[in-house]
Homo-oligomer: A and B are copies of this chain.
Amino acid sequence: MSDYSRLYKRINYQFSDEALLTVALSHRSRGASNYERLEFLGDGLLNFVIAEALFHRHPELDEGALSRLRASLVRGTTLAEIAREIQLGEYLLMGSGEFKSGGFDRDSVLADVVESVLGAAFVESGFEAAKSIILALFDQRISSLPAAASLKDAKTRLQELLQGKGHSRPDYDIIKTAGEAHCLSFTVQCVVNAYDLVTTAEASSRRKAEQMAAEIAIDSIKTLESSAP
């Protein structure tokens, strides 16, 4: 049995049910009783608690800005940083193959385990207790968020990416509108001439579909550039 006392101090929470904590720390390589279900729960919990914190602290921001700020806080690299700060990797339980390949220090695994441990705390002690742990872990990061304006939406980022390389702007066209008035769906095409690239996305509003098509275009351009000879 591990000695979890240092971990408890770092997260300012003591588990009563150490068997539950053990599941939260067990990678899939250990077998069927692993952290993945708790991670699913913890992911939803974390998203919501961060949403609430941003909602209350930033009454001046619209939902697009709130959403981008949240994404910057809950993404894998941020969670992995937090895992390293509380030295969660020491407690990870992995199959020996995964351990040898350095899995205990992999960002994606560390990020998953932050979520599963939070999920486990929620299962054991409920919403307010789990929320306190999250707010303490994220306090510095929530207070020192970049100006929301600097987190640009996908259409803006795509345009700046293209301009930076001396290319022309992308074009957006609605190629399909489906459904009746009460249930519309828009399929939008984003055309990036400089890369012979056409991406499509479908959403319930033109604005959302354009943002999604722009996001796919950015990913595609990055993939193309990184695989170019």
Contact = CB atoms under 8 A, between A and B. Distances in A.
Interface of A: 36-37, 39-41, 43-45, 47-48, 51-52, 55, 61-63, 66-67, 76-77, 80, 101-102, 105-108, 122, 127-128, 175-176, 178-179, 181-184, 187, 200-202, 204-205, 216, 219-220, 223, 226-227
Contacts of A80: 182-183
Contacts of A66: 37, 40
Contacts of A45: 48, 51
B47 A44 contact: yes
This chain: how many copies in the complex? 2
A187 B66 CA distance: 29
Contacts of A202: 219, 223
A184 B36 contact: no
Contacts of A36: 62-63
A44 B40 contact: no
B226 A178 contact: yes
Best-buried of A48, A101, A223 by chain B (most CB within 10 Å): A48
A187 B226 CA distance: 11
B101 A181 contact: yes
A108 B183 CA distance: 7
Nearest to A222: B202
Sorted nearest first, the 4 A-B pairs with minimum C-beta distance are A108-B204, A44-B51, A44-B48, A102-B181
B223 A176 contact: yes
Best-buried of A63, A175, A202, A227 by chain B (most CB within 10 Å): A63
Contacts of A48: 44-45, 47-48
A37 B183 CA distance: 22
A216 to B, nearest CB: 8
Contacts of A182: 80, 102, 105-107
Given A40-B63, A47-B44, A63-B37, A107 B55 contact: no
